[in-house]
Amino acid sequence: MASPFLAIDIGNTRLKWALYDAAHPGAALQAHGAEFLDHIERLAEGPWANLPAPSAMLGCVVAGDAVRRRAEEQIVERFECAPRWVVASAAEAGIVNGYDHPTRLGADRWVAMIGARHRMLGTGPARPMVVVMIGTAVTVEAIDAGGKFLGGLILPGHGIMLRALESGTAGLHVPTGEVREFPTNTSDALTSGGTYAIAGAVERMVQHVRSHCGAEPACYMTGGAGWKMAPVMNGDFELVESLIMDGLLVIARERDGG
């Protein structure tokens, strides 16, 4: 009989969690939610209070050790399973890590690439990939058809760009605008500038992968603000909200010998 499995993704702003009926890709989602990092202590007696106890959990965390420990306290308080966290390695679940120092690659980036490759192979033959996460920061990863992570970009997300402009210039404390091809007010100019800056970096990476691999990459986008970017992208990007959770399910199955 399958046992519930808890997947956790702790980003720079929020803790996202999902409870599945088993620890393998395609498992049925039983419950899910998100908490801002300031409110992690609510989990055990709040959203997790009536959940069935998972037999195992696996997570990725980029927010630092103090936040990870606060999450572990909630897991141990509410459930009996031991907290387990992904750290990027030289290779796992079909992805080979091309980073200069493999363990220094962000765990969320590593897990998202693993989730994307599993998704890509489930729909057809192997091909190169570009994997984009749109959150507090934006990451753009390049993977060849054999599963080697070639390298990636990190750039500021929308919020960081706007705060940088507000702090570095006079008179730019304006409301959020709309994305326009030809902005004619400062709000729209700021929102459009940030959006097209991210789009330009992503599209440049797609060009690099296309040239390097000699094939059109499969392109995936995820992250809390992915829905904002998807409509303005050139090319065919699949928006997959659960990409990190999908990757955690793949890793859990691999590690447990499933």
Helices 186-213 and 158-168, axial angle in degrees (round to 10): 130
Give the sign of the dihedral formed by CA 37, CA 16, CA 244, CA 85. Answer: positive
Scanning the chain, the segments in alpha helix (DSSP H) are: 65-78, 107-121, 158-168, 186-213, 226-229, 243-255
Catalytic residue among 9, 65, 108, 246: 108
* DSSP reduced 3-state for 142: strand
The amino acid at residue 61 is V
Distance linking the first and last C-alpha atoms of the chain: 14
The verdict on whether 21 is a catalytic residue reads: no
For tokens 């390298």, name the residue: 151
Nearest CA-CA partner of 230 in 159, 177, 179: 179
Catalytic residues: 108
